[in-house]
Structures are given as structure tokens and as C-alpha cells.
Amino acid sequence: MIPSLYKITPAVNLRAIRTDRFKNAQLSISFILPADRELSPLTTLLFSVLRRGTEQYPTIKDLNYALDMQYGASLSYRNSFFGDCQVIGFVLETLGKRYLPAGEQTDPLESGLHLIEQMMFHPLKDEQGILRRDIVESEIKNTCDDIRAQVNDARSYAHMRLRECMCADEPYGASLVGKVDQIASFTPKMLTEHHKTLLQSARIECFYVGSDDPERVAVLLGKLFAHAPAQQAPMPRTHILPPPAQMRRVTEDMPVAQGKLEIGFRTGITPDHPDAIAQSVFNEIFGGTSVSRLFMNLREKHSLCYHCYSAAVAHKGLLHVSCGILPQNQQMAEKEIFAQLEHMQTKLVSKQELAMAQKSLINVLRQCTDSPAALQSYWFGRQVFYGSTITPEQCIARVKAVTAQDVMRAARAVVPDTVYFLNGTLSAEEVQDE
């Protein structure tokens, strides 16, 4: 099932997959902008404010009630990196129209889009046409509380710090949420002006998976975006940088018992790269599963860590290793990680390792057709950013064709960039006392 492309307006695209496999349908409306240290936090805060109420539905309770009346439809929110881009917007999940009771006149998809229209174009404002101060200040407080709470999840915090240190001079190194002082400086007027700019400057991409006729979905979206800009905003570029001449090291202390070792690598391998599939197989063998080399050696054989895994950031051509360790094990763990990488760069993986990694990836790819959300997750980045038409079935065939030599070539593209260590300063006894 390859998505079909519909031009809603000169500025808005719809990609749709019509399928009768699911009772539910999913429609996402995404705004794509360059990630930016100043504007991304403003955009993130703006969407938090937009979801607080509208002219017709002035409270969150009113919005949720309207969704419940549409057979339990749900409206969620997305905000993530795709390379150097911020992708932010709404995800609507509804019951397919064909599965409604006989004679039912309501249309969950149309009603859901009405709610999105209210949030996007008719948020609560004061008499001067400015976003309401009480709501803005409430969301500023909530956001600042969330930022302060980031340190409570040491693993996520360490990974965030690796990204910020490794990509300090790149858009990918920005924070989509921002810093406390920065958020506290935002005003209702700033958000109101940014709201107007966003609707005119962001690239808008819609994606639908469900049983409804895509032509009908396109008509509904055409009404929603009747006043969209006359031209489509260009797709923001993602810059793939080479590794530095010398590997960087950053160490920070935190009053916890367990240290967090994060190592960032540059690969230059993006989803449209000839070695993209081979790198996925490499990652499965290296650290992507519970039988990977990192897990079996660092954790099971040498007892150096509590957890250890690797993951690729494909849209940015990066790969990172995350490891939870006792602080005194840092050097030994780091040495073993690089030893396993070097081994894969210089020696062919075994037939058994290759077969297990292929089976693992094939299982993941087969799950891509299990739900509307899974189908959209598979296709969104591939279609919107790369125009790929490779189906999950074709991807499975490519996984099966990967050889040990392909894996070695992908391994050799992995070059260390930054080692970040979050040093735990508490002893086990101090943690127990806490």
C-alpha cells in the first residue's frame, strides 16, 4: 500500500492510504519548520495554548466531551525532530464512517476536523484579539515545571544532553521545549504574532490512513485550509556533518547513584542512503536487541552495566549508545563498547548473528501494517522527506538480501563524535538514606 498524493491547496499536501483493514482511521496534520533555538520553544508553547480552549469549546472539558460524542474519537499532539526539522501538529483518531450504526448521521472525521479548525483558527482571545493571558501564563508555568522535572529521568536527560553537546552548532541541537528563563520571557502578544506567522510560513503536510474515500478527506481538508498561503513553504534542509577531527568529551555531575554513559556517532547514513538497510541490520547486531553484542558482552558477560543499547537517528545520519553504569565502571564500559564496534568493522559477523538480526527487523516491518498509526509511522518520514515508495514488503526483501560484507561496510561508516558521561555522585548507602 503506497500512499496516494493529493494537492489540497498550493500550500497543503495530503497523503492517503485507503484500507478496510481497520475500524479506526487516523489523520495527522503536521506543520514542518526548521528547528530553531528561539522559535521552536515558542511554537511548542503556542500549541499547548491552542489546546486549552476555543471560541466554541472554551475549556478542555468541552473539547473532550465533543470528542467523546464522536464514538470516543481522540485528538493528540505531536512534536518531534525529523533531522533538523521540527514537526508539530495534531493527530486525530476516529471510527471509520462505514462502521457507524445504520442511519447514524454524524461524521466523526468531519467533527474532529471541526475541533482542529477551532484550535488552529479560533483559540480563546481577549477583547484586543490577543491570546488570553491567564491561559498563556498557566501553560508557561506547566512548561517550566516540565523543564525542571527533566533531571528526574536521568536516562532521558543524559540523552538530551548528548544531543545538545554533540550538535551544539546545528538545529538538531536545539531544544524544542526551551529553557526556563526563555519560556518565562514569552508574552501573550509574542504568541499571538507567532500564531499568525506560523499559519503562513510553515510547510503543512497531512496524512490519512483509513476506510474513507481519500477524495472526501481531501474535500474536508480543503475547507479547513481554505485560507492557506498561495505557495507551499520549502522543506527545511537537514545538514549531515562529518565527525570532528578529535572526539569530544563532556562530563557532568548529578546527585544520583547510577551514571549514564552516552556516546554519539556520525554515520552519514540517512533513509535514502544505499546502506540504510545494512545499517539497520548492523544496529540490531551491535546494540539494538537483548541478544546484541553490547547487551551480551557489557551486561551479561562482564556485568558492567544495568542497561545498554544502540539506536540510529536515521534522519540526521547519527547513532548513539546509551549505557547505565556505576561511575567506577565508565572506562571499562567505554573500552568494551569501542572494542565491539571495532570488531564489527574488521571481522565479518557470523551467519547466526546475521540471521537473528534479519528476523528481528522483518518482525518489526511486518508490524508496520498492524494499525493506522503503525502505517503512518512507517510512511510519513519516508514519503514527506524522501519521496520513497519502498513498501514494507519490499523493505523485508532488502533486509533478507543484506550480507555480512554489507554489515561490515555499514559498521565502518560509524565514527565516534562525542562521549557524554553523567557522573553519579551518590553512593549506594546515600541513596538508601534518601
List domains and CATH numbers for the chain.
4-224 (3.30.830.10), 248-433 (3.30.830.10)
Output the pLDDT for position 34.
96
Residues 6+ apart with CB under 8 A from 83: 172, 238, 270, 315, 316, 385
The set of cell numbers assigned to 51 is 489546546
Angle 197-199-202 from CA coordinates, rounded to 5°: 90
The residues near 118 (Cβ < 8 Å, ≥ 6 apart) are: 54, 55, 56, 57
Task: Write down the pLDDT at residue 434.
Answer: 44
* Rg of the chain, C-alpha, whole Å: 24
Digitized pLDDT (tens) for each residue of the chain, 434 residues in all: 899 999 999 889 999 999 999 999 999 999 999 999 999 999 999 999 999 999 999 999 999 999 999 988 999 999 999 999 999 999 999 998 888 888 777 899 999 999 999 999 999 999 999 999 999 999 999 999 999 999 999 999 999 999 999 999 999 999 999 999 999 999 999 999 999 999 999 999 999 999 999 999 999 999 999 888 878 889 999 999 999 999 999 999 999 888 999 999 999 999 999 999 999 999 999 999 999 999 999 999 999 999 999 999 999 999 999 999 999 999 999 999 999 999 999 999 999 999 999 999 999 999 999 999 999 999 999 999 999 999 999 999 999 999 999 999 999 999 999 999 999 888 656 555 44
Instruction: List, in order, residues 6 or more apart from 353 with CB less than 8 Å away.
Output: 285
Cell numbers describing residue 349: 559477523
Distance separating alpha carbons of residues 80 and 154, to the nearest angstrom: 20
CA 399 to each of CA 1, 170, 288, 312, 411: distance values in angstroms, whole numbers, following the listed order: 19, 32, 15, 16, 16
- The CA distance from 269 to 19, in Å, is 32
